[in-house]
Every structure is written in structure tokens, then in C-alpha cells.
Chain A
Amino acid sequence: MFDTTMIMAILPEILMLILGLLVLVFDLIWKKRDGRDLGWLTAGGLLFILIVTAAIARPAESTLVFGGMIRYDMMSYVFKLLFIFGSMMTSFFMMDIEQLGKRGEAYILLLVATIGMSLMASSADLIMLYLAIETTSIPMYVLAGFMRDDEKSTEAGFKYLLFGAMSSTIMLYGFSLIFGFTGTTALTAITDFTLPLAVGIIFLMMVGIAFKISLAPLHFWAPDVYEGAPTPITGYLSTASKAAGFAVLLRLFLGLFPETSPYAPTWTMIMAVLATITMTLGNAVALSQTNIKRMLAYSSIAHAGYALVGVVSLSELGVGSVTFYLIAYVMTNLAAFGVIAAFSRVAGSDEISDYAGMSRRNPTLALVALVAFLSLTGMPPFGGFVAKVFVFAAAVKADMIWLAVIGVLNSIIGVYYYLTVLKVIYLHRMEGENEEAHPIPITRPYAIALTVLSFAILAIGIVFGPWFNIASSVAEGLF
């Protein structure tokens, strides 16, 4: 028996599946094409899905559909829009990359991964959750290793697969124990979770989630995979995939161990310690990086730590601030990786020292880099600043002032390495000082995507009220 609620609950997934099939068919029948057609089809299709979903699939109240498998609430709605947006930007960035943009498979894998993430944010059952996580991960393994002839890319894909399979298996063992002790796989049916092995189960599940959001000590895969994977895929991996991990984290831990649970202090304390280690380690190691993708990998590890501060405070404000943080972070990091993709396409290098003189080689691209990096630093008036304020405010409100202090100190370390990149871009000159002879042309897809992202970063930073209302509506559904 189908009704409109059921269709609405999985509308974005249905549309993305149809889009994926269209890409597959057109890949076969369009023989004469200039190479970007499939990219435009994917990006245009995702824009359509984004608008349709935003317009008609907004849930009025939180409901369970498909026999308790899928949750249809504000949280799934907001996160789905975020994933579709991230996926659209990624397809813009993919179009002009050699060996990636002309291949239909790449777009289909991207779409399937996005479907998986959408289901991750809305699953209400352990079976569904596991399947969603794997639906996301397996296409991402392939995409990370997509450049088959490139030694770095295959190695990145292989490492991602190895660590990913291992950590999801550990989480799966945690799921099997939950099923064993409670006798159900429905997350909503598990209300009083007082088990002999609860702390052990918390650890097992945390392994899987910590891998997804690259928390220390399970962060070690991130720099290698981020460096080796094609740059647009790295951008997607560091934003949408991480946001999906946070969605699962919020659902699982706030669902199984809410404030009233005797284990709430235990897991929040573990998370607080992990957040501290993650922030400090990410920032400290980022200082010494010479490859910009590696540096941003460590920076994204640090950002996972900041976002975790909001989770730890275990309040409505905390969850709202995490959601807001993720929205701002997705925009900002996508812009940063877009700049890197556009630059390395022409310059063929990811070394920070090669960015010297970029402000003269392409002033507009340098300006986008400025916006993105200042937002990552947490400077007003950009989105990253407001996001950090909310997260730290949530920590202070939850009597975790020490965590907020550590977070602020870490942001100060972050200023150093973000501004170093900007210094190289704006103040250093190329060897020979003939930048005009080496321009960096920007193709149309990059121009569109980077413009949208820059304005989004500014919009989140200046007019943050509406965005925070959306983020809070997510939190209300969880408490």
C-alpha cells in the first residue's frame, strides 16, 4: 500500500535513480558529444531534483514509513538537500577533468553514492543503516581509485577500501550485539538501552562513524586518500560524505543513548576527548604540509573535531549548531577544493609553493580562494565564523567551557596555515615574475559552481538567521 507520504519520503532517491539511468542510457546512445554533455545532464538533473525536493518534499511532521525502515522528518529533508547540492557542485567540478568528466560511470557512481548518503540520513533501522552506509562507501571506493593508470589514485582507492571495509565491519559487529541484546533492529523500538556490554557497543559503533567523519585516531586514511583521489572526488569525500557520517552519529547516539540514558555522560566524555585530540592533531600536523590537498585533509580532520564539539553538548542548540556548521563547512570546503581542481587542471601541481603568483595569473580564482580559506579560518563575515560561534556557544552552554577554549585555541593555530596559503597566492611571485605569460583559464562549469559557492559562503555568514532556523528545525525533531 503506497500513499503520498511514502513517495515523498524517498522522492529525491527515486529521482536520482532515474537520473542515473538516464545518464547510463545517454552514455550509450550519444556517440557524437563534446565530452561535457553527461556532466551537464547530471548537474542539470540534480538542480531539478534539488528544487523539486525543496519545494514539495518538506515533511509536515516526523513519520516512519516503509515498515519503520525510513524516517521522514526535517533532519532527513535538510541533509538530503545538502547532499544533492554537494553532488551537483561536484559534477560541475568533474566535467572538465580528463579521464573523469567524459565517463558516464563516474556520474552514476556519484549519484549512487548520493542516494546512499540520503538514506544514511533517513534510516531508522540497523539493516537500512548498514545498507545505506555501504551504498555510499562502495561507489566512493571506486571513485577514489578512478584514475586507473595513476599510481596515486589506485593507491588511494585501495587504502580507502581497506580501512573502510574494516571499520564498517567493526561497526556491523556492534549492530549484531545490539540486535542480540534488544531483539530488534528498529532504532525507534530500542528505548531503554541498559545492557551489560553497552560501553563496548558504543566503542564498536564509534569505530565505524569515526572512520566516516575522520576522527582521530581513525583519521590516518584521510590524508592519503584525499591526496590520491581525483580532486573533485576529494572535495565530495570531505564534505557530503562527512556530513552523512555526522547525520548517522546524531541519529544513532541521540536515539540510543539520549540525555536521560545512564550512558550519556560516558559517550559524551569519550566524544569530548576525541574532539580535543582530533582538533589538536589535525591542526598541528596541517602546519607542516607542503601539498595543499594533504593540508586540507588535515584541516578537514580538525573541522570534524570542531563540529563534534556541538554533538558533545547534547542539547537542541548543540545539534542545531552542528547542522549549521556542516552546511557552512560543505559550502566552504567545496569552494576550496573547486579552486584546487581548477588550478591543478592547468598548472598540474598540488604543491603549495606552486601557487605563487596565482593572484596575478587569475585574480578571480584567487578571490574565491580568499573567500574559502578565510571562511575555513573562521573570519567574519564568512560562513565559517558564524558556524564556529554557534558550536562553541553550545559547548559553553553545556558547561564544557574547557572544550570551547581548546576549540578557540585550535582555530588560532588554523589561522597560521590558512593564511600561509593566501600569502603564497597573493604576495609571492612566480619564478621569472612573468605571471601574465601563464594565465589560468577557468572553464564555464567551474565559473558557475565557484560563483554559487562564494555567494553561499557570504550568504551564510551575513544573513545567518534563516539558515540557523533550518538547522534548529532539524534539532527540534531529534529531541
Chain B
Amino acid sequence: MNAVPVNYYIILSAILFTIGALGVLIRRNALVIFMSIELMLNAANLALVAFSSANAQLDGQIFVFFIMTVAAAEVAVGLALIVAVFRTKKSIDVDQINVLKG
């Protein structure tokens, strides 16, 4: 059986990471920015799993479990804060979130 070379996974994860980073920088909707951050996290997850199988080590896979847990916690807090912001401003467009500046 021919395994997929590890390079392919790494290139895919680099592409995913770049798409995520661009999404964070370009999109203005807070929810879409959050989804982009999740994409970046999953790029790191993919890289860890691929490296883990290439190195024949389980550390990377265990790392991924922890990252998924942390990501869930982060999203819970993030969505709560988005709701709090929406209640005071009636918008989740990051360009409107600009009371603090200077």
C-alpha cells in the first residue's frame, strides 16, 4: 500500500494556515474571523498528526486532543464575548467595535 507522503500533509496544512490567517486579516465579521482562527488551529492539528505518524510517535496525536479541548473552551468564551458586544453595540462588524482608540 502506498502511503501519502508526509510532505503533502504539511503543504496542505500550510495552505490551510495561510487561508485562516488571511481570513482573520481580511474579513470584518467577528464570527467569520473566529472560524478563520479555528482553521488555523486545525492546520496546526493536521501538521501535528502528520508529523506524529511520520515520526512514529504518539505525542503529536495527544497534543491534538488537548488543542481541540482548548479550542472548544476558547470558542465558548469567544461567542459569549461576541454576544456581550452585540448587546451593547447591535453589531459584530469589527470595524464598528472602535470605542477604544488613540
Q: Which residues of A are at the interface with B, using a C-beta cutoff of 8 A?
A: 126-127, 130-131, 134, 138, 141-142, 145, 148-152, 154-159, 161-162, 165-166, 169-170, 172-173, 175-177, 179-180, 183-185, 223-225, 227-228, 289, 291, 294
* Complex interface: chain B residues within 8 A of A179 (CB): 48, 51-52, 55, 59-60, 63
Most buried by B among A158, A172, A173, A176: A176
Q: Which of A130, A141, A152, A169 contacts B99 (CB 8 A)?
A: A152
List 7 A-B pairs, minimum CB-CB distance, nearest first: A180-B51, A224-B100, A183-B55, A176-B47, A154-B84, A169-B40, A151-B88
**Contact assessment for B59 and A294 in the assembled complex, using a CB-CB cutoff below 8 Å:** no
* Complex interface: chain A residues within 8 A of B54 (CB): 180
Given contacts A155-B97, A166-B24, A173-B43, contact A127 B63 (CB under 8 A): yes
* Complex interface: chain A residues within 8 A of B80 (CB): 142
* Complex interface: chain A residues within 8 A of B47 (CB): 173, 176-177, 180
Q: CB-nearest residue of chain A relative to B59?
A: A185
Min Cβ gap A293→B in Å is: 10
Between A and B, 8 residue pairs with Cβ closer than 8 Å are A127-B62, A130-B67, A151-B99, A157-B81, A161-B77, A162-B33, A162-B94, A173-B17
Most buried by B among A126, A127, A180: A180
Min Cβ gap A229→B in Å is: 10
Q: CB-nearest residue of chain B relative to A227?
A: B100
**Contact assessment for A138 and B100 in the assembled complex, using a CB-CB cutoff below 8 Å:** no
Q: Which of B70, B97, B102 contacts A223 (CB 8 A)?
A: B102
**Contact assessment for A127 and B77 in the assembled complex, using a CB-CB cutoff below 8 Å:** no
In Å, the complex CA distance between A251 and B56 comes to 27
**Contact assessment for A126 and B63 in the assembled complex, using a CB-CB cutoff below 8 Å:** yes
Q: A151-B99, A155-B99 are in contact. List 11 more A-B contacts (CB 8 A).
A: A127-B66, A141-B78, A145-B84, A148-B87, A154-B81, A162-B37, A176-B51, A180-B51, A180-B54, A185-B59, A227-B100
**Contact assessment for A154 and B40 in the assembled complex, using a CB-CB cutoff below 8 Å:** no
Q: Which of A141, A152, A184, A228 contacts B77 (CB 8 A)?
A: A141
Q: Which of B20, B73, B100 contacts A155 (CB 8 A)?
A: B100
* Complex interface: chain A residues within 8 A of B78 (CB): 141, 161-162, 165
In Å, the complex CA distance between A148 and B80 comes to 10
**Contact assessment for A172 and B84 in the assembled complex, using a CB-CB cutoff below 8 Å:** no
In Å, the complex CA distance between A250 and B27 comes to 35
* Complex interface: chain B residues within 8 A of A225 (CB): 100
**Contact assessment for B100 and A161 in the assembled complex, using a CB-CB cutoff below 8 Å:** no
Q: Which of B30, B43, B66 contacts A158 (CB 8 A)?
A: B30
Chain B 16-46 near chain A by CB (<8 Å), digits 1 or 0: 0100110010000010011001001101100
**Contact assessment for A183 and B99 in the assembled complex, using a CB-CB cutoff below 8 Å:** no
* Complex interface: chain A residues within 8 A of B97 (CB): 155, 158-159
**Contact assessment for A180 and B55 in the assembled complex, using a CB-CB cutoff below 8 Å:** yes
In Å, the complex CA distance between A165 and B34 comes to 9
* Complex interface: chain B residues within 8 A of A159 (CB): 97, 100
Which applies to chain A's interface (DSSP): helix, strand, loop or mixed? Answer: helix
**Contact assessment for B81 and A134 in the assembled complex, using a CB-CB cutoff below 8 Å:** no
Chain B 53-95 near chain A by CB (<8 Å), digits 1 or 0: 0110101101100110010011001101110110111000010
**Contact assessment for B63 and A169 in the assembled complex, using a CB-CB cutoff below 8 Å:** no
Given contacts A173-B43, A228-B100, contact A183 B81 (CB under 8 A): no
Q: CB-nearest residue of chain A relative to B57?
A: A183
In Å, the complex CA distance between A291 and B51 comes to 49
In Å, the complex CA distance between A326 and B64 comes to 33
Min Cβ gap A346→B in Å is: 23
**Contact assessment for B40 and A173 in the assembled complex, using a CB-CB cutoff below 8 Å:** yes
**Contact assessment for A165 and B37 in the assembled complex, using a CB-CB cutoff below 8 Å:** yes
Min Cβ gap B78→A in Å is: 5
Min Cβ gap A62→B in Å is: 23
**Contact assessment for B99 and A165 in the assembled complex, using a CB-CB cutoff below 8 Å:** no
**Contact assessment for A158 and B41 in the assembled complex, using a CB-CB cutoff below 8 Å:** no
**Contact assessment for B100 and A166 in the assembled complex, using a CB-CB cutoff below 8 Å:** no
**Contact assessment for A184 and B17 in the assembled complex, using a CB-CB cutoff below 8 Å:** no
Min Cβ gap A456→B in Å is: 31
Q: CB-nearest residue of chain A relative to B10?
A: A180
**Contact assessment for A131 and B66 in the assembled complex, using a CB-CB cutoff below 8 Å:** yes
* Complex interface: chain A residues within 8 A of B48 (CB): 176, 179-180
* Complex interface: chain A residues within 8 A of B52 (CB): 179
Q: CB-nearest residue of chain B relative to A156?
A: B100
* Complex interface: chain A residues within 8 A of B102 (CB): 223, 289, 291, 294
Given contacts A165-B78, A169-B41, contact A154 B88 (CB under 8 A): yes
Q: CB-nearest residue of chain A relative to B100?
A: A224
**Contact assessment for B59 and A166 in the assembled complex, using a CB-CB cutoff below 8 Å:** no
